[in-house]
Structure 1
Amino acid sequence: MPLALLILYTIFIGLVTLSPQQLDTGPGSFIAGLLDFLASHRLTAWIDYDILEKLANVGMFVPFGFLVSLQAGRRRWWLGWVTGIAFTCLIEGTQATLLSPTRFATISDLVTNSLGAGIGAVLALIAMIIWPPRRDDVPIDHVVR
């Protein structure tokens, strides 16, 4: 199951980050409405577009790092972080070269995406420590008769 989710989530990230156009941020868009909502509350008024984008980048890569680490297992949990860094390098490189007229590669995206993948990998490690794989109580007889 984690592999199927990982494949679907990787496709989702690819669609969001490698489409020729960025998400709509104009007046009346979901993002504009969210920023208006955040600005209307004292506790969240400090969140502007740049901060929201950075938080979204971190948040988008947490599940990726988590799912890769679950797939890799407890001994190689760090692959979630390393794979996330490699994936974001691929994304940013593609944006800088093939999508350069419409998309922009930034060091900030590289850092925030990598941070998200790292957080996801650590969360997966914690989950694998807390909930180790089940073992059957009945030993399996491996002798062929």
Structure 2
Amino acid sequence: MEWQMDKRRPICPQIEEQISAKIACGELLPGERLMSVREVAMGAGVNPNTVQKAFKMLEERGLIHSERSTGWFVSDRRTEAKRTVRALAEEKTALYLADMEMLALSREEIAGLIASYYEKKEMEEKAGKEGTTT
């Protein structure tokens, strides 16, 4: 599992968010065993206690559960994970839009920035794929 950590934000919620997103999109399926706390900590470059705390938060929300001496497993709560991801997306969108409004950008300018971002991203992905096939 690849981890994308933002050094400006607390690590624990980021781990929780990333696992929630993987459950919501079906990348992690009900009954699937998660990596161990130690494996996640090593992969993400964080303290195992931080990962344990994130796992406990996910367990409290019913997204994962532990089986004694076997490890952590994805629960059958994909709908809850989708709701969590949606709420997080709405929160991040509101923060982004507030920042754009502080810059006095209009809706049209914001929409243009978003469209431009995705166009650039698609071109980079296309260039990356073409570079790997030659």
TM above 0.5, yes or no, is: no
TM-score by length of 2: 0.31
Structure with more of its chain in strand, by fraction: 2
Structure having greater relative contact order (Cα 8 Å, sep ≥ 6):
1
TM-score by length of 1: 0.29
